[in-house]
Amino acid sequence: MPARIEDVAAHAGVSTKTVSRVLNGYTNVRAKLRARIESSIHALNYVPNPSARGLAGNRSYLVALVYDNPLAGSSYTMELIVGVLQACKGTPYNAVLHPFEATDDLAAQIDGFVAQHRPDALVLVPPHANNARLLQRLDELDIRYSTISSKLRQSHIDVGFDERRAAAEIVEHLVSLGHRRIGHITGLRGHGAHAWRLSGYRDALRRAGIAYDESLVVAGDFTFPSGVEGAKALLNLRRPPTAIFAANDDMACGVMREAHERGLSIPGDLSVCGFDDTPASLVMSPGLTTVRQPCREIGCLAAESVLQSIRDPALRQQARVPYQLRLRESTAAPGKS
């Protein structure tokens, strides 16, 4: 039978109330007494019972990660999960996962989920992070939440990185190699990543004094097949691009596949770069030039902030974490094989 708070109180010679104060981080306990209680906790190997705590305090000690059905992008989600778990470590909080089916009655779904599990806080991943109705419903329910890479310019907690600048940098890398005709396969419309990465692409062209050519930009949806299709469209142009910047790695892999099909060598005949640094980008041959998005840090920060906001409801924070260019073998100067 595990120790109870009562046992700790008796062991330390204090009231249970004071032990409770220590457990919950109240500051009005004298340092000396606090130390004594903490050593009793340690001696008895005491860990508070989460159910009892939750029941009495009307809390669940649960943070839910709300993400899209993970058919695609599993490594992205997985990394976020690792980050969220890291943030929960050492706290009484536990992470639970909630993959939302992408349906219309999202409000109903969130209501059901909240009713059942009563999470104290949510971390929302795109596309849900961009769903204004959802956020509004959460506000109504008075549930704290943070978002990841939300394109909504709202006054809530959000964590992301400067995707526009990162996209610009990777395109500038292509420019610096000598490329002038650079194709772009966009992400799925509606995602912030679609607009930001496209804007970055245009920023880089503008700064390099290269005219924006609409025909070099084709629509993708972040999937491998859409990368293949995008590559087909671009490579079928009368004057095909010498480099293609795909808005994510899966599509970049699609581009590489199509290039191989056509017998084009990479990077000799075509430079390819992606975005996200998924595991696949490392195992591709050649290795894929991409942007490392620090998913773990993002997940960790998003969870930490939202937990902090439980104590301090006024907290509003727009954190931007650093990204890194990963230059690998899929990009080189044009026209040399």
Q: Where do contacts with DNA occur on this chain (CB under 7 A)?
A: 1, 4-6, 13-21, 23-24, 27-30, 32-33, 46, 48-49, 52-53, 55-58
Other Cβ atoms less than 10 A from the Cβ of 167: the count is 26
Q: Is 115 in the site for a second copy (CB under 8 A)?
A: yes
Q: Is 256 in the site for a second copy (CB under 8 A)?
A: yes
- Kindly tell me which of 53 and 320 has the beta carbon lying closer to DNA: 53
Task: Name which position in 43, 52, 102, 108 contacts a second copy (CB under 8 A).
Answer: 52
Task: Provide the minimum distance between the beta carbon of 304 and DNA in the complex, in angstroms, as a whole number.
Answer: 20
User: What is the CA angle 226-67-299, rounded to 5?
Assistant: 105
Task: Provide the minimum distance between the beta carbon of 229 and DNA in the complex, in angstroms, as a whole number.
Answer: 52
Q: Which stretch binds a second copy (CB under 8 A): 28-36, 162-170, 277-285, 304-312?
A: 277-285
Q: Which stretch binds a second copy (CB under 8 A): 7-15, 96-104, 139-147, 186-194?
A: 96-104
Q: Which two tokens stand for residue 169?
A: 């940098």
Task: Provide the minimum distance between the beta carbon of 162 and a second copy in the complex, in angstroms, as a whole number.
Answer: 25
Per DSSP, the residues of 199-236 read: HHHHHHHHHHTPPP-GGGEE---SSHHHHHHHHHHHHT
- Kindly tell me which of 83 and 241 has the beta carbon lying closer to a second copy: 83
- Kindly tell me which of 6 and 105 has the beta carbon lying closer to DNA: 6
Task: Name which position in 5, 37, 79, 125 contacts a second copy (CB under 8 A).
Answer: 79
What sign does the CA torsion over 30, 35, 41, 44 have?
negative
Phi, psi of 184, rounded to the nearest 5 degrees? -135, 135
Query: Considering only residues 151-190, where is the footprint of a second copy by CB under 8 A?
Result: none
CA distance 246 to 234: 11
Short-list 63, 117, 246, 225, CA closest to 171: 246
Q: Is 45 in the site for a second copy (CB under 8 A)?
A: yes
Task: Provide the minimum distance between the beta carbon of 316 and a second copy in the complex, in angstroms, as a whole number.
Answer: 28
Chain-centre distance for alpha carbon 146:
11
Which partner, DNA, a second copy, none, binds residue 275 by CB below 5 to 8 Å per kind?
Answer: none
The runs of H, that is alpha helices, within 62-221 are 74-88, 106-117, 132-141, 163-176, 192-208
CA distance 14 to 221: 62
Q: Is 268 in the site for a second copy (CB under 8 A)?
A: no
Phi, psi of 44, rounded to the nearest 5 degrees? -90, 0
Query: Considering only residues 1-40, where is the footprint of a second copy by CB under 8 A?
Result: 2
Q: Which stretch binds a second copy (CB under 8 A): 21-29, 171-179, 200-208, 279-287?
A: 279-287
Short-list 71, 25, 23, 73, CA closest to 50: 23
- For β-strands 182-185 and 217-218, DSSP reports them as parallel
Q: What is the total count of residues that contact a second copy (CB under 8 A)? A: 45
Task: Name which position in 16, 29, 33, 99 contacts a second copy (CB under 8 A).
Answer: 99
CA distance 11 to 123: 39
Decide: 99 and 127 in contact? Cβ < 8 Å. no
Task: Provide the minimum distance between the beta carbon of 279 and DNA in the complex, in angstroms, as a whole number.
Answer: 41
Residues that bind a second copy (CB under 8 A): 2, 45, 47, 49-55, 60, 62, 70, 74-75, 77-79, 81-82, 85, 94-97, 99, 115-118, 224, 250, 253-254, 256-257, 260-261, 279-280, 282-286
